[in-house]
């Protein structure tokens, strides 16, 4: 097993006092209906949690349900941990397999899965995507998506590889979709022509710039090692930002109020064989 260490990069040392906090398991919340999928040997893979305003939660991942051998990726739990029966009928639908992202906005559940940009259900399991899906397929010919970034207005960035448009033979790695599912042609990015490259994640840095992580060693001809910052409207690389990782990269990123970047994942630094799990970048 890889040894994971945690590192905070900072020039200020703060004194602190650590207190021990005891805890007990809340036995009133019993999500006992999640089981290992047959190919999993240690624990179910959970990739996201979305909380409804009334305290109920959606859990996304890859796991079995009630001993069923099929892969399931969305479960809607009541406050007491029981599965909500209104949503349970969609549990084994193809729409909810291989889920990589989930979010609740009002009474709408938004989630992404491998190979599909996003799907929308109401909290009772009714599919809300018919018109959106038709609009999407009017513009997009073929695609493999890994993740999305959702804007407050409902538009989104979709990242992956081999994203092809009917109007353009270029294979893109990042596109923007309008809230109705149609392509927003103001953002279409294909930073590298080499096969088998992709943008896995994008994280917003400020109004005009995003961070991108994936598998690429150049960005429109500029040498890059899997992690960079770029301008969203043009796709141009921000050369003032430098990737400090020699291997691996972030799984999640937050930009702090002071502009520093807090990220988690598994990565190494040049000249250091240790794998790190959390880092703050200047």
116-122 and 198-204 strand pairing? unpaired
Asked if 165 and 159 touch (Cβ cutoff 8 Å), the reply is no
pLDDT in tens, 194-208: 777 888 889 899 999
pLDDT over threshold 70, residue 21:
no
Q: Which residues contact 246 (CB under 8 A, 6 or more apart)?
A: 225, 268, 269, 270, 271, 272
Q: Which residues contact 31 (CB under 8 A, 6 or more apart)?
A: 59, 75, 77, 81
pLDDT over threshold 50, residue 231:
yes
Asked if 203 and 211 touch (Cβ cutoff 8 Å), the reply is yes
Can you say how many angstroms the Cα of residue 222 is from the centroid of all Cα atoms in its chain?
A: 26
The pLDDT confidence band at residue 13, using thresholds 50, 70 and 90, is very low
Average pLDDT over residues 139-165: 84
H/E stretch holding 97 = none
158 exposed, middle or buried (CB, 10 Å; 0-12, 13-18, 19+)? buried
The pLDDT value recorded for residue 46 is 67
Structure tokens that stand for 263 in this block: 């990220």
Distance (Å, rounded) from C-alpha 209 to C-alpha 200? 17
- Strand partners for 229: 211
Average pLDDT over residues 117-127: 72
Average pLDDT over residues 54-77: 65
Identify the residue with better confidence: 173 or 64: 173
How many residues belong to the chain? Answer: 282
Identify the residue with better confidence: 120 or 30: 120
H/E stretch holding 180 = none
The pLDDT confidence band at residue 272, using thresholds 50, 70 and 90, is confident
């Amino acid at each position: 097993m890889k040894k994971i260490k945690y590192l905070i990069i900072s020039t200020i040392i703060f004194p602190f006092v650590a207190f021990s906090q005891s805890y007990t398991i809340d036995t009133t919340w019993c999500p006992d209906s999640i089981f290992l999928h047959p190919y999993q040997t240690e624990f179910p893979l959970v990739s996201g949690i979305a909380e409804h305003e009334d305290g109920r939660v959606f859990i996304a991942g890859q796991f079995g349900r009630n001993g069923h051998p099929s892969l399931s990726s969305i479960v809607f739990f009541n406050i007491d941990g029981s599965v909500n029966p209104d949503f349970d009928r969609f549990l084994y639908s193809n729409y909810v397999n291989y889920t990589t992202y989930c979010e609740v906005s009002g009474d709408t559940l938004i989630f992404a899965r491998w190979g599909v940009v996003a799907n929308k259900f109401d909290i009772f399991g009714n599919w809300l995507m018919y018109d959106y899906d038709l609009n999407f397929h009017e513009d997009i010919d073929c695609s493999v998506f890994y993740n999305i970034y959702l804007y407050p207005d409902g538009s989104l960035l979709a990242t992956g590889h081999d994203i092809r448009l009917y109007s353009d033979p270029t294979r893109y790695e990042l596109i923007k979709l309008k809230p109705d599912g149609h392509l927003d042609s103001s953002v279409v990015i294909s930073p590298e022509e080499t096969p088998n490259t992709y943008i896995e994640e994008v994280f917003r840095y400020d109004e005009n710039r995003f961070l991108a992580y994936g598998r690429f060693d150049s960005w429109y001809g500029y040498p890059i090692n899997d992690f960079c910052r770029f301008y969203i409207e043009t796709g141009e690389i921000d050369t003032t930002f430098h990737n400090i990782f020699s291997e691996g990269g972030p799984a999640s990123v937050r930009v702090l109020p002071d502009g520093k970047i807090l990220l988690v994942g598994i990565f190494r630094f040049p000249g250091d064989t240790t794998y790190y799990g959390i880092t703050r970048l200047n």
